[in-house]
Structure 1
Amino acid sequence: MKKLLVLLVVLSTAAFSRELTLEQAIDLGLNNGKSIKTSEISKENADLNVRRAFKLALPKVTYNGKYEKSEHETRSMFVGERSNVEEKSGYSQSIGVYQPLFKGGAITGGILGAEASKSMANIYYLTEKRDVRMNIIENYSKIINDQRDLEVLKASMDELQERYKKQKEQLALRIITKADLLKTEFNILELESQITGKKTDLQISKKDLKLKLMIPENETITLQEFSVPENLLKEIHFKTDLSQALTNSLSAKLAGNKVKYARAEKMVSRSSLLPEIDAFATYGTSRESHNFNESFDNAEWRGGIKVKWDVFNFGSGIDEYNVAQNNENIENLNKKITEDNIKLSVTRNYREVIRLEQLKESRKKALAASDENFAIDTERYNAGLISTVDFL
């Protein structure tokens, strides 16, 4: 019975545990992330807007129907004579086909603007995927580092506990003083607080990662370590990368599409200054009649060209066009600012990689020196040549 209980506990633990690699974590984040799903819906809406913009150039079929009922009063010229009040009713209906011929560029501008919006939605989607990927890598790396730090702290605590036991024996033999023992006790307490803080950080980081990957709270995750390629500078070509960043980076493409969208808005605003021309063909009654049967009998075909032009509106259309033109100028300036920021960012990151490569080499040398010094100080401490305080 006891073996059965142990087996059930092991199976339940395995059912609620998962081992993840960095790539698996990234895939889960991209597939389950809420922000990714929001960007996907926005991208779908952008596709629908493009389809809707194209359909505005196509003919449309419209049905109109109206029924009215009112009082019809017959007035008399004689004073005091009552008017004859009757009821008046009428019904009219028609169906027509309307084809836009000229909208002053509003349809073309709408299509260009919708396509620019679609491109921006795709860029925002790719940007969101990039940010999710980078965020998961950062969170994943922090958990790995916290686990390593916790192992180091625990190993230090084990070694310090062993030193503490020896110091108690040395104090009993009056080899060391009480101050040496108190110093060790202080270091043990300080190390315990560091271990507690690191465990808290590790717990919060894992919970955060579970939320991003949509992993149940009661499921235990184990992360596999990953390696960073050596000599990163070998794969970096500064001039080539800078040229590609200025043309193919998400920031550059987004800035370019914002200019296209502003240009399309200017085209749409200019259309308000020009006439609108539509071709139409209708069939039905053009006006109401007093008899329903006559309204059907009087149906007729009509067709022609309709022109609408706001000749005067106190200059509001010109103001709208000037605002759109200014917005286009703003986006052109923002594009240049984006290009300048890309140049600075690529240069800064390139220099930072160089600095980190140099720092890594210096840290390796420092680690080797520290290991050698620790080994020497351990021998000197065991030989009683240095005090506990100096050794700690």
Structure 2
Amino acid sequence: MKSRKKKAGAIALALAVLTAFGTSSAERVDMTLDEGIRLALENNYSIEESGADLDSAYWSLREARRNGGPKVNWTSTAYRVGGKAYEGWNHNGLYGNQFSFSMPIYSGGRVENGIKAAEMGLSGAELEYERTKQNIRNTVSGDYYYILKCRSEVEVYQESVNNLQAHLDNVNAKLRAGVVAQKDVLSSEVSLAEEKQKLVTAVNDYHVAVATFNNDVGLPMETETNPREQLEYEKYAFTLPECDEYAKLHRPDLFQKEFNLRQKKAEMEAAKSGMRPKLDAGVSRNIGGSSAFKTDSVTSDSWTAGVALSWDIFDSGITSAQVNKKKAAVHRAEAELKDKLNNVRLEVRTAYLNMQAAEENIGTMREALEKAQEDYRIEVVRYNAGVGTNLEVMDAQDKLVSAKGDFINALYKYNYSRASLDTAMGVPVDLDVTPYRQTLENSEKKGE
């Protein structure tokens, strides 16, 4: 209970220092990490950019599907005429209207593969949208943990300043009693000044961290955001092979690369349609005469209905060049997929090993901190008893501050690495990638 009261008192004291360095007119907001992530997902511009790409992919699919549907066209003409061919006409105008209906029956695979490519593109855009959210969550988590780190460091330096001030008061009292030399006072004053400088730097780092967090979540930068949580250690339950396997099954950008590969293959097949015949059905009606929608010109009064077959037997190699261009895009997509798979494995391993190292350091630094606290307590007692030196107290104080900083840094790196590991594994924000993975697996079974 006493340790909790001391911790609460230190936090309150540090917050008082932060307030003194802050802007009193700024709005104060208490926030958890989950609240910050939710706010960022609502306000971050990267979400809007990715959302616009998703809308574009949706309308591309709509366009591709409509390419296989019927088309109705109306063409109207109006001309002023003259010459011997029109001698004897009572009017000097010629009007015409053509109404046509057409629909592709066989496009050589252009329409079907165009639809397939657009479907792959839409699935890829949906997965990329989810990945954008995961990256934003990772950024906000890193910002939040860095605020906690900076705030903890402010608390450490504030406590150190208080300890050094109390020690300086004690040294001055001993000087007045003639027990110590003047140099003890001077060295204590120098140490106090240096620690105050570190406190000012720590406070500034805290404000910069808050401003960065505010910018990423969409709050005004001058907002005094106060995290409700503390840096803590929570054991991670999964092994590296389990994390690696999870990433293979859940990374949305990994599946996005696979959909991109299938999209490029479909585009290549659509390009091959230029080598095949096309068959279209059509109906047309023509009317024309001396006024709009009048049919007093026999040569302009006609209708047609039937089918049209066309085949570009030779196009100077244009289609072949287009197909080869699409083949190159397929090879690139294959390389991108392999590269993404390697990067995913590397990201998972890197984040996991960093987390593991930070976890080991937490235990080591906790022991070092306990020893540094005890050493400082002993040196203060020895100095007060007249058997220790001022230099020994200053040295113990420096080691205590350093041990606290190392412990805080280990906690920060552990939490940051854990958040990075979640991102590397593809832990979802909103989208379940299972249906997309099943779609890819089914297409592989069909040999597509």
**8 Å CA contact 2:102, 2:281 repeated in 1:** yes
- Alpha-carbon displacement from aligned partner over 1:282-336 (angstroms, at most 9, x marks no partner): 1223xx6566633577533311222333333321221111111122122112212
Kindly name which structure, 1 or 2, has the bigger radius of gyration based on alpha carbons.
1
**8 Å CA contact 2:78, 2:95 repeated in 1:** yes
Q: Distance in 1 between matches of 2:297 and 2:202?
A: 86
**8 Å CA contact 1:72, 1:88 repeated in 2:** no
Q: How many residues align structurally? A: 367
- Alpha-carbon displacement from aligned partner over 1:226-261 (angstroms, at most 9, x marks no partner): 4645321xx214334323322331232022012112
Deviates more, 1:354-363 or 1:52-61: 354-363
Distance 1:355 1:214, change over 3 A: closer
Deviates more, 1:33-42 or 1:14-23: 14-23
**8 Å CA contact 2:290, 2:297 repeated in 1:** no
Q: How many angstroms does 1:107 deviate by?
A: 1.1
Deviates more, 1:162-171 or 1:97-106: 162-171
Q: Distance in 2 between matches of 1:267 and 1:87?
A: 54
Q: Distance in 1 between matches of 2:385 and 2:235?
A: 43
Counterpart in the other structure of 2:245: 243
Query: Letter of the aligned partner of 1:154 in structure 2?
Result: Q
Counterpart in the other structure of 1:77: none
The runs of 5 or more residues in structure 1 that have no matched partner are 1-12, 75-85
Counterpart in the other structure of 1:113: 117
Query: Letter of the aligned partner of 1:198 in structure 2?
Result: A
Distance 1:216 1:247, change over 3 A: closer
Identity of aligned residues (%): 20
Counterpart in the other structure of 1:195: 199
Task: Give secondary structure in 2 for the equivalent of 1:272.
Answer: helix
Distance 1:290 1:193, change over 3 A: same
Q: Distance in 2 between matches of 1:264 and 1:225?
A: 50
Counterpart in the other structure of 2:423: none
The runs of 5 or more residues in structure 2 that have no matched partner are 1-23, 395-448
Distance 1:344 1:134, change over 3 A: closer
Structure 2 residue corresponding to 1:135, chosen from 134, 139, 148: 139
Q: Distance in 2 between matches of 1:303 and 1:369?
A: 96
**8 Å CA contact 1:92, 1:295 repeated in 2:** no
Query: Letter of the aligned partner of 1:45 in structure 2?
Result: S
Query: Letter of the aligned partner of 2:35 in structure 1?
Result: Q
Q: Distance in 1 between matches of 2:365 and 2:307?
A: 81
Counterpart in the other structure of 2:53: 42
Q: Distance in 1 between matches of 2:233 and 2:360?
A: 15
- Alpha-carbon displacement from aligned partner over 1:78-98 (angstroms, at most 9, x marks no partner): xxxxxxxx9964221111111
- Alpha-carbon displacement from aligned partner over 1:343-389 (angstroms, at most 9, x marks no partner): 33333333333322222221222122212222222222222223212
Structure 2 residue corresponding to 1:344, chosen from 346, 351, 355: 346
**8 Å CA contact 2:51, 2:129 repeated in 1:** yes
Counterpart in the other structure of 1:101: 105
Q: Distance in 1 between matches of 2:314 and 2:124?
A: 36
Counterpart in the other structure of 1:9: none
Counterpart in the other structure of 1:63: 74
Deviates more, 1:49-58 or 1:349-358: 349-358
Structure 1 residue corresponding to 2:266, chosen from 252, 264, 267: 264
**8 Å CA contact 1:69, 1:87 repeated in 2:** no
Query: Letter of the aligned partner of 1:312 in structure 2?
Result: F
Q: Distance in 1 between matches of 2:257 and 2:131?
A: 13
Counterpart in the other structure of 2:166: 162
Counterpart in the other structure of 2:385: 383
- Alpha-carbon displacement from aligned partner over 1:175-213 (angstroms, at most 9, x marks no partner): 333333222222222222211112212212222222333
Query: Letter of the aligned partner of 2:135 in structure 1?
Result: D
Distance 1:72 1:185, change over 3 A: farther
Is 1:122 paired with 2:123? no
Map 1:347-366; keep pairs closer than 5 Å.
347-366=349-368
Q: Distance in 1 between matches of 2:296 and 2:361?
A: 91
- Alpha-carbon displacement from aligned partner over 1:29-64 (angstroms, at most 9, x marks no partner): 112222212322322222222122111111111111
Q: Distance in 2 between matches of 1:244 and 1:41?
A: 29
**8 Å CA contact 1:72, 1:87 repeated in 2:** no
Task: Give secondary structure in 2 for the equivalent of 1:294.
Answer: coil
Q: Distance in 1 between matches of 2:371 and 2:291?
A: 108
Alignment RMSD (CA, Å) = 2.8
**8 Å CA contact 1:109, 1:264 repeated in 2:** yes
Q: Distance in 2 between matches of 1:70 and 1:383?
A: 121
Is 1:149 paired with 2:153? yes
Q: How many angstroms does 1:129 deviate by?
A: 0.7
Q: Distance in 1 between matches of 2:334 and 2:33?
A: 40
Counterpart in the other structure of 1:276: 278
Structure 2 residue corresponding to 1:90, chosen from 88, 94, 119: 94
Q: How many angstroms does 1:155 deviate by?
A: 1.2
Q: Distance in 1 between matches of 2:276 and 2:80?
A: 40
Q: Distance in 2 between matches of 1:210 and 1:180?
A: 45
Counterpart in the other structure of 2:44: 33
Structure 2 residue corresponding to 1:299, chosen from 287, 301, 308: 301
Q: Distance in 2 between matches of 1:14 and 1:132?
A: 29
**8 Å CA contact 1:284, 1:296 repeated in 2:** no
Deviates more, 1:267-276 or 1:322-331: 267-276
- In the superposition, the TM-score normalised over structure 1's length comes to 0.84
Q: Distance in 2 between matches of 1:259 and 1:295?
A: 58
Task: Give secondary structure in 2 for the equivalent of 1:41.
Answer: helix
